[in-house]
A and B are shown apart, each in its own frame.
Chain A
């Protein structure tokens, strides 16, 4: 689990850390959308500069971002190789059976590589600088317009927040159950596929009943503390739109416009 940088949060106090989560989330979606508009060297160069600026502003060491790519590296290499071997057009450099390496193919392969890199980088910037809870709050703010069509946004946000809060608790419980079953002779993670599935049962059923107990006691405790429904509540945690957010949006929109004009 320690190798997985994607989805991990590093607390900090940088420019990007302080931005509101809703604007960071939307910016990430927006950026991914522009990446697909880019189609020549200049546009990719502009986007790369923007990403490098974002990484520097996040105040997190570059090695974390490099680690973030690691789990995806085989997928990237595989896609890039396919792209190089199977695209036609331009000057043919090498030819063998169905495989051709062409000038255009190489360029396309390079673009795919950069595109992957940019998408991974921007999402890593988002997850490293925003706590899961802040992301949940960001989602709630973004979904707020859906309230008009009677979508239970507040309930969803509360569910998300409780789910995130119980992830470490349930993980601890799983480890305890695994150790308890091991001490009774259950052998996890060996044998055939069928056997492995069978050994999952003494882990899953106690975990499941445990979760139901948690739910029951938590709901009693919530009710005792005056919880009636998720709509009629005030909110302790709020994220305000700041000057930083406006500034970043201006930069991103300008870059978006620039890309639109520079692309072929």
Chain B
């Protein structure tokens, strides 16, 4: 797979005292689901903003879909990337649901007839069509995030960045949104970068990038990183529920192998273990 985003020797600082990134290099492959994890202040959200050109970096290069990030390519790059931010209230620009979905299209001067069709299509996709006339104050957090996703899908980006998009939602709303993104990713062959604290969300990714103080500490599969529980704890991160459960069972002298298993695999292993005992 080709790289859709490459970040090369990037340096960035908000102010002179505290550099966020010093010589950071990373790449995202086209069509993959990359989870970026790390503690607060490790530079995850800053990275997302830098990739979209929302912040100006000092040295290095960023390439998105073959285009080098600079002033001339800024609009073209933003057309390829859709970001869903953390706070559902602060990214709702439109006065009503349908207008918010239309906002990105309005900015691209899409003719109205086409806009009407696209708004309807994308609102139906996220199951919010019945709410099209509602104002943001009358929607729940999960519903607002759905609208934000519809607004981003309407302009058909290739890359979707979820900047802790589910962190302010309840578990049910979170599951809903993740399920929706997975489905859309499969249908449209999107590249997804999910920046998250939620280790269970990271478990769904193809690849995990562990950031600490602006440096890539580890770049591997979720299965591999979850085996190194000590490392995760060292960088202030949690381990997924199945890993914790397996550890507890190991403490009870059940010989579960060290290798990472997801929920299904663990159940299967326990069943075979029970039947052979």
Q: Which A residues contact B (CB, under 8 angstroms)?
A: 133, 161-162, 164-165, 168-169, 172, 213-214, 217-218, 220-228, 232-238
Which residues of A lie under 8 Å from residue B107 when comparing CB positions?
A: 225-228, 233
- When A and B form their complex, which 5 residue pairs have the shortest distance between CB atoms, in order from nearest? A168-B137, A221-B91, A236-B102, A217-B90, A226-B107
Contact with A along B76-100 (1 / 0, CB 8 A): 0011011101010111111110110
Interface string of B95-125 (1 = CB under 8 A from A): 1101100111111111110011001000000
Q: Are B90 and A226 in contact (CB under 8 A)?
A: no
Assembly CA distance A132 to B24 (angstroms): 49
Please state if A234 and B91 are interface contacts (CB–CB under 8 Å). no
Instruction: Tell whether, in the assembled complex, residue B95 and residue A233 are in contact, meaning their CB atoms are under 8 Å apart.
Output: no
B52 on the A face (CB < 8 A): yes
Inter-chain contact A217/B85, CB cutoff 8 Å:
yes
User: Taking the nearest CB of chain B, how far is it from the CB of A206, in angstroms?
Assistant: 16
* Interchain CB contact (< 8 A) of B93 among A213, A222, A235: A222
Q: How far is the CB of A244 from chain B (nearest CB, A)?
A: 21
* Residues of chain A with a CB closer than 8 A to B106's CB: 233-236
Which of chain B's residues have a CB closer than 8 A to the CB of A133? Answer: 95-96
- Is B135 at the interface (CB under 8 A from chain A)? yes
How many whole Å from A136's CB to the nearest CB in chain B? 8
Selected from B98, B109, B119, B151, the residue in CB contact (under 8 A) with A234 is B109
A225-B103 in contact given A165-B95, A217-B90, A218-B93 (Cβ < 8 Å): yes
Majority secondary structure, A binding face: helix
Chain B residue contacts of A235, Cβ below 8 A: 106, 112
Q: Does B54 contact A (CB under 8 A)?
A: yes
Flag if B93 contacts A224 (CB, 8 Å).
Answer: no
- Between A and B, 7 residue pairs with Cβ closer than 8 Å are A165-B93, A168-B137, A220-B85, A225-B93, A225-B103, A234-B115, A236-B98
Known: A172-B137, A214-B89, A217-B87. A226 touches B104 (CB 8 A): yes
A225 in contact with B151 (CB, 8 Å): yes
Give the shortest distance, in Å, between B169 (CB) and chain A (any CB).
17
How far is it, in angstroms, between the C-alpha of A161 and the C-alpha of B81 when the chains are bound?
Answer: 26
Flag B41-59 by CB within 8 Å of A: 1 or 0 each.
Answer: 0000000010010100000
Query: B residues within 8 A CB of A233?
Result: 106-107, 109
15 more A-B residue pairs beyond the given contacts A172-B137, A227-B107, with a C-beta to C-beta distance below 8 A: A161-B95, A165-B92, A169-B137, A220-B54, A221-B91, A222-B93, A222-B103, A223-B54, A224-B81, A225-B152, A226-B75, A234-B105, A234-B115, A236-B112, A236-B119
- B99 near A221 with CB under 8 A, answer no
Which residue of A169, A221, A226, A238 contacts B85 across the interface (Cβ within 8 Å)?
Answer: A221
B155 on interface, CB distance cutoff 8 Å: yes
Judge whether A236 and B95 touch: CB under 8 Å: no
Decide: A169 and B136 in contact? CB cutoff 8 A. yes
Closest chain A residue to B102, Cβ basis: A236
Candidates A168, A226, A234; contact of B78 at CB < 8 Å: A226
**A226 and B79: CB pair below 8 A?**
yes
> In the complex, A169→B138 CA distance in Å?
10
| B27-82 contacts to A (CB < 8 Å) | 49, 52, 54, 75, 78-79, 81-82
Partner of B94, one of A165, A214, A217: A165
Q: How far is the CA of A235 from the CA of B52 in the complex (A)?
A: 25
In the complex, are the beta carbons of B110 and A234 less than 8 A apart? yes
Q: Which residue of chain A is the closest to B78 with respect to CB atoms?
A: A226
In the complex, which of the residues B75, B135, B152 contacts A165, with contact meaning CB atoms closer than 8 Å?
Answer: B135
Q: Given the complex, which residues of A lie within 8 Å of B52, measured CB to CB?
A: 224
Assembly CA distance A165 to B144 (angstroms): 14
Q: Which of B93, B116, B155 contacts A162 (CB 8 A)?
A: B93
CA of A234 to CA of B107 in the docked complex: distance in angstroms? Answer: 7
CB contacts (< 8 Å) of B54 on chain A: these are 220, 223-224
Distance between B8 CB and nearest chain A CB, rounded to angstroms: 22
List A contacts of B152 (CB < 8 A). Answer: 225
Identify which of B75, B79, B81, B112 contacts A228 (C-beta below 8 A): B75
